[in-house]
């Protein structure tokens, strides 16, 4: 994962796919620490069916100095899977902030059933991990005063993309028993 929007957030991600089961392992650091006296929630998703890329600064089409989530959609696509800590993993849980990891550094591991669109994107190389939530102090002041492009009840900082990484397929074919496993 590489930082977006000057967030300082970094990390790494592995998606291990066996049939329709995916195990996602993530380590994230340098993320926004606190939000309203609690751990800063970091919505995180597998985005799918865009160009399979992370946006550059030119994606800031409204010129406010940040690439918000919507401005990144042409690059990384829409939410395919919400990498929540429990319960639903569908796009419906995209902003279920109480079910995402939080704080400045965290590890995440979860096994869940892949839905067909996300599985297809993983195979076709258009699956992109995006971690959201940036310390507003790191944003241009005018952008930090805005509300989120995804939910007008949340500040822009809460949903701003903080880190992004493209997933590259790798066959882990060393032990072919039981069919081919695809590590991504």
For Cu ion, the binding residues (CB under 5 A) are: 45, 130
- Pick 45 or 49: Cβ nearer Cu ion: 45
Nearest to 26 by CA among 174, 124, 130: 130
Nearest to 171 by CA among 162, 183, 161: 183
In the complex, minimum distance from the CB of residue 178 to Cu ion, in angstroms, rounded to a whole number? 33
Residue number of the CB closest to Cu ion reads 45
In the complex, minimum distance from the CB of residue 177 to Cu ion, in angstroms, rounded to a whole number? 36
By the 8 A CB rule, do 88 and 82 touch? yes
- Pick 45 or 146: Cβ nearer Cu ion: 45
Q: For residue 93, what are the contacts with CB-CB under 8 A and spacing of at least 6?
A: 82, 84, 87, 99
- Pick 90 or 172: Cβ nearer Cu ion: 90
In the complex, minimum distance from the CB of residue 151 to Cu ion, in angstroms, rounded to a whole number? 12
């Amino acid at each position: 994962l590489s930082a977006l929007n000057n967030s300082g957030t970094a990390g790494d991600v592995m998606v291990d796919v066996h049939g329709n089961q995916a195990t996602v392992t993530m380590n994230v650091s340098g993320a926004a620490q606190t939000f309203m006296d609690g751990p800063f929630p970091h919505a995180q998703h597998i985005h799918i069916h865009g160009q399979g890329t992370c946006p550059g600064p030119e994606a800031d089409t409204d010129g406010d100095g940040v690439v918000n989530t919507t401005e990144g959609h042409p690059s990384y696509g829409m939410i395919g899977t919400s990498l929540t800590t429990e319960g639903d993993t569908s796009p419906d849980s995209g902003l279920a902030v109480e079910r995402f990891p939080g704080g400045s550094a965290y590890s995440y591991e979860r096994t869940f059933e892949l839905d067909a669109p996300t599985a297809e994107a993983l195979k076709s190389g258009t699956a992109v991990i995006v971690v959201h939530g940036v310390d507003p102090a790191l944003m241009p002041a005018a952008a930090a005063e805005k509300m989120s492009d995804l939910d007008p009840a949340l500040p822009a900082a809460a949903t701003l993309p903080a880190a992004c990484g493209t997933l590259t397929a790798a066959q882990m074919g060393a032990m072919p028993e039981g069919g081919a496993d695809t590590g991504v």
